[in-house]
Each structure stands twice: as structure tokens, then as C-alpha cells.
Amino acid sequence: MKNSYLNLLCFWCLLCLLIFPTLFCQASRPLSNPRLDNAYTAFQAWKRAIQSDPMEFTSNWSGPDVCNYSGVYCASAPDDPQITTVAGIDLNHGNIAGSLPEELGLLTDLALIHLNSNRFSGTIPESFNNLQLLYELDLSNNLFTGFFPSVILSLPSLKFLDLRFNQFEDSVPSALFDLKLDALFINDNKFRSSIPDNMGNSPVSVIVLANNVLDGSIPSSFTNMGGTLDEINLMSTGLSGSFPPDIDRLSLIVYDVGFNNLTGPLSENFGEIKTLEQLHVSHNKLSGNIPASICSLPRLLNFTYSNNYFSGDLPPCLKFLGNDYSQNCFLGRPSQRSTLECSSAPA
């Protein structure tokens, strides 16, 4: 009896190996292991923490085969390729209302969490500090509240952090800029603090802090980001002060500081940032001439500078029609500030 059972098993093994390597071997691999058991616990706890799921993303989250749940992605465990484990969660655009339970910390092999455009609220569980492999965390466009989730600062593998369009408040921790991130999006929250002095430690290629209240000035360490930074957006963050003098150390592609209170000149060495494609300084209190060097930027596609106190001659390349120079102090051009305003231009 036992022998024939073994024979049968061997027969299936051979068939597996020879004929249907993917189909049958996948199906006959033990579906249960301690990590998937933990994952089952985590997903059932999460399901209980969900109050509304209009697109029915989680309606098939039942039974032990968590790898078959919608939005759940499994892979071989990095430390043991024989074991299947949960590697990713993608519930983007689910419009799901609920919260994140502590049990999510049981998903210790997670590399990706994408929860963009849902109605998750509350805070990020402390148990996230178990997610030592987490590489991408996208919680954007949800209803999360509270202080900056400091548990994020203890994730050693994190490269992509997206918290934009939530209700996080209070200060942005300086430790955030010591993480080895590639991309950081915290725009459109309710953060209120100055930008930490160590911003320049961050190795990101993209950083977006726009639409928070980060009053204060651009930290002078900013120009240390020259090696990696391609894109920075500090639009509408309540910034004041002037540009760092050594701005040409950066090799930016997109530089957006519109809608702030920046003062002082746009220095000649902006023309040295040969990589620039987008430069947005409109709606500030900048003054002086617009340097002619701007016109020698080989890739510049869009330069916005209206609503400042710029004066003198417009550089030749900015004289074309449709170029918005309004609300500045250019002599003889329409839609400029009054003589009185221009004579009291902020220094």
C-alpha cells in the first residue's frame, strides 16, 4: 500500500519534471508554510479592518491560499527559494476605506506596498519595523493622519517613499534625509517645519515637498545633492531667503520653487546647470535682471518667472510671444507692477 503510494508519487514527480513543469509542479508544491500561515492571519485581520471596499478587491480574501487573493503577489522567499511567501501588495485605486492593522507586520518578506488612491486612515502600524525587505512604500492619496510615521525611518531597504496627498502633520524628521532613498514624495500634507539642515545628505534623484508649510530657507546643504538629484519640487512651501550661491553644483532637470517668498537675484550661474529642462520661479519676490545665461541652457523647455520683481532687459530668448513676463518690473512691458511697488522691491 505504502509502496504503491510512493510509486504514484514518483510517477507524478516524473510527469511534473518532464511534461508539465510549470502547471503541475506549481500546483503540487505545498501551499502552506509558516510564512503563508502568518500571511493568512495578517490578511484576515486586515479584512476585518476594512469598512468599505466598493470595487470588491478583498471580497475573495478567504481561504488559506493568500497568493490567489486579488492584489496579493507571491514569490520565492529571498532567503529560501523553496518557500513561497508574500512579496507584494497592490491595491492601487481601490477606494477602500479602513485602517492598517498591526498584523501587517507579519508579512516580513514584503518588498512592495502600493495603496495609492484609497481611503485608508489612521496611522502606520509600529509593526512595520519588521518589514526589513520593504523597498517601495506608496501610501499616497489616502487619509492617513498624525505625525510623520517614524517607523518608516527604521526600514533599511526602503528606496521609494510616497506619502503625498495625506493629512500628516507637524515636523518633517531630519532622519528622513539620511535614508538611502531614490525617490521621496511628501507633498500635499500638513507638515509644518523648516526643511531640515541635513537635506543635502539625501541621495534621492527625485524629491517633492510641495504644498506643505516648511517656512524658512533652502538649506545650504542643498547643493551637496549634485551627484544624484534630478528633480526637486518645493512649490508653495512658504520658503523665504535667497538661492544658494553655488547652485551650479547641481545637475538638475526640474527645479520648481514657484509660489514662495524667495528674494534676491537669479544668479548668472543658473546658466551653468546645463541639464535644466524646467525652471519655475514664478510667484516669488525675486529681483534684479534675468541673466542672459538662461538663454544658453540647451535643454530648457519651460521657464516661468511671472509675479516677481525682475527688471532690466529681458534676455533675447524670452522675448517671444506668449512668454508670461507679467507682474514684474520690466520697463515698457504691459501688465507690470506699479512704479511704487517696483521702487520698494524686497531686497
Ligand X SMILES: *[C@@H]1O[C@H](CO)[C@@H](O)[C@H](O)[C@H]1NC(C)=O
Residues that bind ligand X (CB under 6 A): 60, 65, 68, 70, 238, 259-261, 280, 302, 304
Of 58, 47, 50, residue with least CA distance to 91: 58
Rounded least distance, CB 212 to ligand X, Å: 11
Rounded least distance, CB 63 to ligand X, Å: 6
Query: Any alpha helices (H) in 123-196, and if so which ranges?
Result: none
DSSP 55-117: T-TTTT--SS-GGGSTTEEEEEETTEEEEEEEEEEE-TT---EE---GGGGG-TT--EEE--S
Beta strands 97-98 and 50-52: pairing type?
A: antiparallel
CB count in 10 Å sphere of residue 213: 14
**Is residue 97 within 8 Å of 122, Cβ to Cβ?**
no
Rounded least distance, CB 237 to ligand X, Å: 8
Q: In this complex, which beta carbon is closest to ligand X, that of residue 166 or of residue 282?
A: 282
Q: In this complex, which beta carbon is closest to ligand X, that of residue 54 or of residue 156?
A: 54
Which set of grid coordinates corresponds to residue 230? 534630478
231 strand-pairing partners: 206, 254
113 strand-pairing partners: 89, 137
As a whole number of angstroms, the distance between CA 46 and CA 99 comes to: 8
Q: In this complex, which beta carbon is closest to ligand X, that of residue 203 or of residue 264?
A: 264
Rounded least distance, CB 137 to ligand X, Å: 23
- Measured at the alpha carbon of residue 310, what is the angle toward residues 289 and 297, in degrees to the nearest 5? 55
Rounded least distance, CB 30 to ligand X, Å: 12
Q: In this complex, which beta carbon is closest to ligand X, that of residue 133 or of residue 172?
A: 172
280 strand-pairing partners: 256, 304
Rounded least distance, CB 241 to ligand X, Å: 12
Q: In this complex, which beta carbon is closest to ligand X, that of residue 33 or of residue 304?
A: 304
Rounded least distance, CB 139 to ligand X, Å: 22
**Is residue 258 within 8 Å of 281, Cβ to Cβ?**
yes
Q: In this complex, which beta carbon is closest to ligand X, that of residue 130 or of residue 308?
A: 308
Q: In this complex, which beta carbon is closest to ligand X, that of residue 28 or of residue 205?
A: 28
